[in-house]
Amino acid sequence: MSELGKRHKAYRRGHSAERLAALALMLKGYRIVDRRYRTKLGEIDLIARRGNTVLIVEVKAWATLEQAMDSVNALTMRRIEAAADQWLARQPDHASLSLRFDLVAILPWRWPVHVPAVFTA
């Protein structure tokens, strides 16, 4: 498979994982307010909200939960935090919102695993 074909397959897999993660969060009562929020500083896979709680969600598709959690390294956290700060600053009710950084792991043949507060800002 060519390099372009591999990248296209990874891109499709990422979109599919994000759709499944969004569905799992919606079934838990969250409203998806943004997907693939991009800034110059970083990207947020999903932003979900329930009441005043806003979830900044990193979606990872790995073979195990441990691999998914290990893949969220310090650089990833900094990029997500920077993007979250920009998103939050643009919200008219930002002072009343509570941010939480969560992970949704997409594992083979399992329902998505939602890990609340995988890291703190």
- Average pLDDT over every residue of 101-112: 97
Topology of the domain covering 3-119: Trna Endonuclease; Chain: A, domain 1 (3.40.1350)
CA 109 – CA 118 distance, rounded (Å): 22
> What is the tens place of the pLDDT at every residue in 59-87?
999 999 999 999 999 999 999 999 999 99
- The ranges assigned to domains in the chain are 3-119
CA 20 – CA 112 distance, rounded (Å): 7
Q: Report which of 61, 106, 98, 57 is spatially closest to residue 80, judged by C-alpha positions.
A: 57
Tokens 């609340």 correspond to: 116
**Strand duo 98-106 + 53-61: pairing:** parallel
Where does 1-121 have alpha helices with state H? 3-27, 65-70, 74-89
Task: Give yes or no for a contact between 10 and 16, defined as CB atoms under 8 angstroms apart.
Answer: no
Percentage, residues of the chain above pLDDT 70: 100
Model pTM score: 0.91
What is the DSSP-derived secondary structure letter of residue 117?
Answer: E
